[in-house]
Amino acid sequence: MNAHRVKAIARECGFELSGIAAALPLADFESFRVWADTGMAGEMGYLTDYRKDRRADPRHLLPEARSVLCVGKLYHTAHPHSTAYTDAECGWISRYAWGEDYHHIVTEGLRQVEATLRSEFAESFTAKVCVDTAPLLERSYAHMAGLGWIGKNTCLIHEPTGSWYFLGSLLLSLALEPDVPPPDRCGSCTRCIDDCPTAAIVPSGVPGGRQYFVDARACISYYTIEKKREIPAEVRQGNGNHVFGCDICQDVCPWNRRAPVTADVRFEPRIPPAPPLERLAAITEGEFRELFRSSPISRTRYTGFLRNVAVAMGNSGNAHFLPVLERLAMHPHPVVAGHAADAIRSIRAGDARLLPPPRTA
């Protein structure tokens, strides 16, 4: 089976990027192991439990695997970046979560790729679709497959189109010619490091490995998406007005200045990218389920969402939110009620503030 044709089929199935990597262990696993073992995964147990070591070799997922078809699905839209919004009464939802859940979209596309391969080629093969949830170092294999390099913000960056890509992999028992990984082109740029409001991008200390890690214990995305129950009081202010995820390290990346816009309408926002916090606080549980059905936002659940809204309101320092927060402080869920009560105290104490305006790119 011809590797060029396999990659062409991936592009015909809607993936802007495609490449081949050998299904072999990577040296980059050592960087992942250090990151996990030093506690930087926070409470994300699925990254540190028995599945951690399974990431060392894709053949743990498909014993007969010989190649990894890596794909990238562009999700960038024409709407402004988070760094363009300064309204203290609005929150921010990460760009990747505006539309439909990418897991379904990328999985559907990879299954179409697999079906096309089976219909076009007589050669028998086994395959396994992996999209984010499988214990596979997808960014590392995407790098080896030539899709881009792993930047200081740990995102895969493609030259010249940037980093607004969802990644997916198709493990194949076929022996395909692998692509060549591109060089790191971040150079001396430190925009993502300098503009991260919580200093979450830190030196790795891994000789010969990745230069930088994202420490989840300081990351806005971790606290607004992955963290369950209470957000520690000492880190809440750093969340600013973010209610689901954070895009700052990608928004300020120079490689994203000329990022193309996707033609896939499934990634268009269901609600305004920077929705009024008061509107978000008024969403009922039924509305939440309906509005964010098949959306990444459902991951944080209704109570986690309200928790994040309360924190963002408290960080605004805006007394206009006090009546809304007083209502949330009566919520039956103790986490929502507790965070709302703390936000009320913060506003009344006058010590809450939004993040300083980011530097222009």
Catalytic residues: 132
Give the span between the Cα atoms of 272 and 99, in whole angstroms.
11
Burial of 349 (0-12, 13-18, 19+ CB in 10 A): exposed
**Alpha-carbon distances of 330 from 20, 304, 315, 326, rounded to whole Å:** 54, 16, 20, 7
Task: Give Cβ neighbours of residue 307 (< 8 Å, ≥ 6 apart).
Answer: 231, 335, 336, 339
Token digits of residue 132: 């984010």
Instruction: Tell me if 107 sits within 8 A of 167, measured CB to CB.
Output: no
Distance of CA 311 to the CA centre of its chain: 21
Instruction: Tell me if 154 sits within 8 A of 214, measured CB to CB.
Output: yes
Token digits of residue 183: 């060089």
Token digits of residue 308: 């994040």
